Structures are given as C-alpha cells and as structure tokens.
A and B are shown apart, each in its own frame.
Chain A
Amino acid sequence: MAYSEKLLEHYENPRNVGSLDKAAVDVGTGLVDAPACGDVMKLQIKVNERGVIEDAKFKTFGFGSAIASSSLATEWIKGKTLDEAERIKNTHIAQHLALPPVKIHCSVLAEDAIKAAIADYSAKHPAKPQG
C-alpha cells in the first residue's frame, strides 16, 4: 500500500515533537489511545490569556499514519483559538494526508487528542469563558 507524499513527509520530518510541562497552568494535555490497534497519542497545547494556542507539542506511538496525523494536528492548531481548534475534524486530517481507509482511525485519534488537550486546559480554568 503506497502512502501519500504529504504523509511520508510528516513521518520523516514530524513537526512539534516534544513535551510541555503538564503541571503548568497554561498547558493542556491530551493522552488518548486506540484500543483496536494500540496506538497512543499525547498532544499538548500552551494557551495564552487571549485563548489562543501559542504552542503545541506531540509524541505518538503508532503507525506512520498516526505520527503524521498528530504532526499535522499540532501544525494546524498553532495560532488558533480554542474554539477554532475544537472545530478541526478527523476527516480534514484524513483528507489532507490521503489516509487509506484502514488508517482512518489514526486521524480520529488526532481529533480526540486535540479535544482531550482542550478539555484538560479548560478543566484548569473553570471560571474562564471559552473563545
């Protein structure tokens, strides 16, 4: 099965690999796994006082498709507001990377990771209205 050039490029040169301090108050951490295949994704966001994602980092255990999906996700959410980031759908990621059908769940995982990171950040800031 041949992978798309975009996918391979993200796999070879993943963006935003790394970790942020998960204890920091301006950092939200999402850690999700796909029970079907054992993929695990950690995605972190650093949010400024205007509710804009200033930085994003990821680490992923899984298929090349999962690594590429999370790399792309961090690239896309940087500079977006939490609201905008929340609206990113797995279908956008899958389309952009031309994921084969059997790897669609990798993009689902990336969407879940974004949502989990936002949820974690929001839990740290219960009083702040979002967006």
Chain B
Amino acid sequence: MDAAAKINGGAAQKGDNRPKLPIYLDYQATTPCDPRVVQAMLPWFTEKFGNPHSRNHIYGWEAEEAVERARKQVASIIGADEREIVFTSGATESNNTALKGVARFYKDRKDHLVTVATEHKCVLDSCRHLEQEGFKVTYLPVKKDGLIDLGQLDAAITDKTVLVSVMAANNEIGVIQPLAEIGKICRTKGAFFHTDAAQAVGKIPLDVNAMNIDLMSISGHKIYGPKGIGALYVRRKPRVRLQPLMTGGGQERGFRSGTLPTPLCVGLGEACAIAEREMGAEAERLKMLRERFYQGIMAKLPEVYLNGDHDKRLPGNLNLSFAYVEGEGLMMGIKDVAVSSGSACTSASLEPSYVLRALGVDEELAHTSLRIGFGRFTTEQEVDYAVEHVVAAVKRLRALSPLWEMAQEGIDIKSIQWSGH
C-alpha cells in the first residue's frame, strides 16, 4: 500500500470513483505525519529514551547521535551548516526568538525593524511587543499580487534597522516573496534578514547562502513531521547574535535551553530528508493537482477570483473568492471537504482576513474566500470530487444570495441604503 492510500485509510473499491470522505484540503493548516517519519521516531520514545545531553552513558550518547543526525538533515534542506540549526517547539517560537532575540541583543546600537503587513500573526505580535519596549517597526504594504515592492523595502531600511523579517511563502495566499533580492538588499544595507519559512521549507528550493538569509524559521508539522517541533536557522558567518527567550541549562549553544525531545527532533530530520529527496517531483504533481482544481472551478463558475499571484505561489495553495457566497456558509455546504475560510468568521473574531485586506481585496470579496491546500496525500480523484461539490454548493448558495440576485439585476451593491443598522 502506498503512503497516500495508507493515510486515506485504503483505496476506494474497484469501480467506485468516490474517494474516502472527508477529504482533507487544508495542507497549509497542518499536514499528517508521513508514516516513514513516524517509523523513524518510534524507537526514540521507548527503548532509546535517553537524554541527549547525558554525557556519561550509552543512552545519552545514542540519543545525542540521533539528534545531531537530525540537525544535519534539517541543515541540508536549506543549504546550512548543522551548527547553525537550533531546535525549537515550532515556527511560532522560532519567530519570537528571531525577532525579540535579535532586537534585544542589539538594542544599544539599533532600534528599528522592518516587516510586512501580511506576515503571520506571531511575527506581527512579536513586533507589537517590541514596539511596547521602545523599538520602531515599519510594516511594509504589499501589492495587489501579495508581493512586496523592493524599492519600498530598500527605502525603509536605515542605519538603525537591525532586522528585516519577510516571510518566504504566505500561509493564506501562498505567494512567494523574492527572497534572493530581499537578501541582497539587506546584506548591502547591513540589516539582518529573517524569513519565516514555515510554509516554504520542503515545498520550494531554499538556500540560505545564495539568498543571504541570516535567520530562518522552520516548522515540523507543515512538512509531514510531528507537531511540537521546529527549528531556527541562525547564521554563523557573519555572526548573528541573539538574546535567548528560554534560559536554563544552556542547551542549543545557549540559544534555547531545555532538554531536546529526541523523537521529535528525529521526526523533523526525517521529514526534511524526505522532502529534500522528493520536492522536485512532488512540486510538479501538486502544481498539476492545483491547476486541475483551479481550471475545473473556473470552467464551471463565473465570478471566482484568485487571491495572490498565480505563478509566484506555493505549488499546493489556492485562495479563491467565490463572489456573493459567504465563506463559512460555503464551508458548511461542503462539509465533506475540509478547507479553510478567509472570512475568518470561524474564530471568535468576525473580521475578514487581514491578509486579503492588505492585498486590497474588498471586504465583501474577502468574506467569500476559501483557502484550498493540496499536499502529499491528495489524489486526482479527491480533487475531482472536491470541484464537483464546491461548484454545486456555490450554485445553491448563489441562488439563495440576495447579493447575487442584485448583481444579476445590475444593482451596484455599494449604492444600497441599508435599512435596519
């Protein structure tokens, strides 16, 4: 049985064209652990349970060896040296450590950071905390395609800028920022370049040296590894220094104290090794699936809009606005297909996605968006089923939508005087 069939709980019956339900198309939220990753992890929970920091017996030594092998595997996928990899609990911790750690270490000389309006919440929130500590932060806008303007970046960096933080690939719209160009500008201007690569590692080729990246955040569970582990790449030459968030026993060269979780480290390492081997072919396959979905939808439904650039985007990501149909209402209508809504109304907040708003997407359209994520275990059959169901649900809900009716009658929705509120 191949890995996909295993994850899907066995292939469908012969002659039965229906995939096993529900279908998971939310690979930017998280990914299942690859069975090969789980296999590699298992011994490190039970018989090989030693503390990798124990120096006096075989239990410690073999655990340390496993952790260091994993460190090499992580380093390899981004072209780094293993001594530049710090294990963390995940990308949120890596981002916090990079931003707060670097800013605080250099605070006597520099007090300014540059980031982007569409960054992940944990980057933006770290910036807010730094602002409260007296740092200044520039939040760059993005263009309609979701990419930053390099001229604006260049202009924003001053001799007081300690760090520029720009994500590699966006978690909602999947657009890939021009990392090499950004790295070049930062190096020339003497600012460190941090990138949150949680969505990008293992999906697109990354090279910290070719791209002049000084710090990079990595997540385990976005790349078919376990949850609860991530890594932070910290450049040695020229050296980047930072003040640790977690202090104690001085593990991870003092950057991050705490006993390393050997099985999780092994899992992250194995996940990186698999991704590095399979990335090229997998990216092509995902692009094919993505286009199959996109073309399938566009051929059957009018007034569907793609958010974010079409080409400079993760192979497994789509973000579509289905005009006149509210995103969460739509998700209820396709309950056999697990996707994510840009309307964000699923959370306690009723605000539409700040990422889509930063792109200049109308509030109305932002409410109608879905993020569809394809991954290692997605099949063609699943894509076809999902297209069919999304199309049916959108048609049904448009028939129910007063906005669709008004649009058909040629009424401009923005001109309406609302009664009630």
Is B7 part of the binding interface, using a Cβ–Cβ cutoff of 8 Å? no
Is B416 part of the binding interface, using a Cβ–Cβ cutoff of 8 Å? yes
Of B326, B404, B419, which contacts A63 at CB under 8 A? B326
Give B367-403 as 1s and 0s: 1 = Cβ < 8 Å from A's Cβ atoms: 1000000000000000000000000000000011111
Residue of B nearest to A41 (CB): B402
Shortest distance in angstroms between A115's beta carbon and chain B's nearest beta carbon?
Answer: 8
A38 pairs with B352, CB closer than 8 A: yes
Is A119 part of the binding interface, using a Cβ–Cβ cutoff of 8 Å? yes
List 19 contacting pairs A-B, 8 Å CB cutoff, sorted by A: A11-B333, A30-B420, A31-B402, A31-B420, A32-B419, A32-B420, A32-B421, A33-B421, A34-B421, A39-B326, A60-B402, A61-B404, A63-B328, A63-B329, A63-B332, A64-B333, A66-B329, A102-B348, A115-B420
In the bound complex, CA of A41 to CA of B401 (Å): 8
Of B332, B348, B363, B399, which contacts A38 at CB under 8 A? B363
In the bound complex, CA of A17 to CA of B364 (Å): 22
Is B232 part of the binding interface, using a Cβ–Cβ cutoff of 8 Å? no
Residues of A within 8 A of B416 (CB): 31
Near B by CB (< 8 A), chain A positions 1-41 give: 1, 3, 11, 14, 17, 19, 30-41
B420 pairs with A116, CB closer than 8 A: yes
Task: Report whether over half of chain B's contact residues are helix, strand or loop; otherwise say mixed.
Answer: loop
Shortest distance in angstroms between B265's beta carbon and chain A's nearest beta carbon?
Answer: 35
A32 pairs with B418, CB closer than 8 A: yes
A40 pairs with B402, CB closer than 8 A: yes
A61 pairs with B402, CB closer than 8 A: yes
Is A67 part of the binding interface, using a Cβ–Cβ cutoff of 8 Å? yes
B328 pairs with A64, CB closer than 8 A: yes
In the bound complex, CA of A37 to CA of B363 (Å): 9
In the bound complex, CA of A34 to CA of B352 (Å): 13
- Given known pairs A38-B326, A38-B367, the reply for A61 and B420 (CB within 8 Å) is no
B420 pairs with A113, CB closer than 8 A: yes
Shortest distance in angstroms between B135's beta carbon and chain A's nearest beta carbon?
Answer: 33
In the bound complex, CA of A114 to CA of B324 (Å): 22
Residues of A within 8 A of B364 (CB): 38
Of A30, A61, A113, which contacts B325 at CB under 8 A? A61
Shortest distance in angstroms between B342's beta carbon and chain A's nearest beta carbon?
Answer: 12
Shortest distance in angstroms between A111's beta carbon and chain B's nearest beta carbon?
Answer: 10
State how many residues of chain B have any CB contact under 8 Å with chain A.
28
Is A59 part of the binding interface, using a Cβ–Cβ cutoff of 8 Å? yes
Of A30, A31, A61, A120, which contacts B401 at CB under 8 A? A61
Is A79 part of the binding interface, using a Cβ–Cβ cutoff of 8 Å? no
Write the residues of chain B forming the contact surface with A, with a CB cutoff of 8 angstroms. 324-326, 328-329, 332-333, 343, 345-346, 348, 350, 352, 363-364, 367, 399-405, 416, 418-421
Q: Which 8 A-B pairs have the closest CB atoms?
A: A32-B420, A42-B402, A64-B332, A59-B402, A37-B350, A38-B367, A112-B420, A116-B419
Most chain A CB within a 10 A radius of its CB, from B332, B363, B401, B420:
B420
Residues of B within 8 A of A51 (CB): none
- Given known pairs A17-B399, A38-B352, the reply for A31 and B363 (CB within 8 Å) is no
In the bound complex, CA of A60 to CA of B332 (Å): 14
A59 pairs with B405, CB closer than 8 A: yes
In the bound complex, CA of A31 to CA of B402 (Å): 9
Given A62-B326, A112-B421, 14 additional A-B pairs, CB 8 A: A14-B400, A17-B400, A33-B418, A37-B345, A37-B350, A38-B326, A38-B363, A38-B364, A42-B405, A59-B402, A59-B405, A61-B326, A63-B328, A64-B333
Residues of A within 8 A of B348 (CB): 102
B329 pairs with A64, CB closer than 8 A: yes
Residues of A within 8 A of B352 (CB): 38
In the bound complex, CA of A87 to CA of B404 (Å): 30
Shortest distance in angstroms between B275's beta carbon and chain A's nearest beta carbon?
Answer: 33
B329 pairs with A67, CB closer than 8 A: yes
Residues of A within 8 A of B403 (CB): 40, 61
Residues of A within 8 A of B363 (CB): 38
In the bound complex, CA of A66 to CA of B402 (Å): 13
Residues of B within 8 A of A1 (CB): 346
Residues of A within 8 A of B326 (CB): 38-39, 61-63, 66
In the bound complex, CA of A109 to CA of B421 (Å): 9
Of A34, A62, A115, which contacts B329 at CB under 8 A? A62
In the bound complex, CA of A62 to CA of B346 (Å): 12
A31 pairs with B328, CB closer than 8 A: no
In the bound complex, CA of A63 to CA of B421 (Å): 18
Residues of A within 8 A of B404 (CB): 61
Residues of B within 8 A of A62 (CB): 326, 329
In the bound complex, CA of A59 to CA of B397 (Å): 9
Give A87-131 as 1s and 0s: 1 = Cβ < 8 Å from B's Cβ atoms: 000000000000000100100010011011001100000000000
